[in-house]
Amino acid sequence: MTLSIEEKKQLSNVRMDKADGFISDAEKTLSGGLYRTSINRSYYAVLNAARALLILAGSNPETHEGIITMLSLHFIKKGILPQSVIKTYKNLLSHRTDADYGDFDSITSDDAKELLMHAQEAMRHIESARQKLLSEM
């Protein structure tokens, strides 16, 4: 996909808006006792935030693992994002998979709260890097 700088910026903003909506959903579902749904929404918030950042670097991975690889290549190895962002992403992916597909998972309020907190932190790091890239474009 070849996008102009303006198209990349617009797509990044759309994806970040989507991420913000997902994190809001995660907060609401957590407070409503829907822990599996909160974990799912926390994961998709970070996924979309990562996609919002990656498109600015000209990367548009199509898989969950591709996002890990491209974040590492473009942002972790260069010291732009802390390693904790990848750790959080992988942890959320694992818990989201268990919550969505597991038969015998036992997700507690504390689990969902902790994952939401880590998702919010990862999103802050990603948004900071995204804003820096946007200002440099």
Mean pLDDT of 23-28: 98
Cα–Cα distance measured from residue 87 to residue 78, given in angstroms and rounded to the nearest whole number? 16
Q: Is the pLDDT of residue 23 over 80?
A: yes
pTM for this structure? 0.94
Q: Radius of gyration (Cα) for the chain, nearest Å? A: 15
The per-residue pLDDT for range 33-84, each reduced to its tens digit, is: 999 999 999 999 999 999 999 999 999 999 999 999 999 999 999 999 999 9
Based on the structure, what is the number of domains in the chain?
A: 1
- Do 43 and 27 form a contact (C-beta atoms < 8 A)? no
Q: With contact defined as beta carbons under 8 Å apart, do 88 and 122 qualify? A: yes
Find tokens 């808006």 and name the residue.
17
The dihedral through the CA atoms of 68, 52, 79, 73 has a sign that is: positive
Q: Residue 74's domain is classified under what CATH number?
A: 1.20.120.330
Which residue range(s) make up the domain with 103?
Answer: 5-136
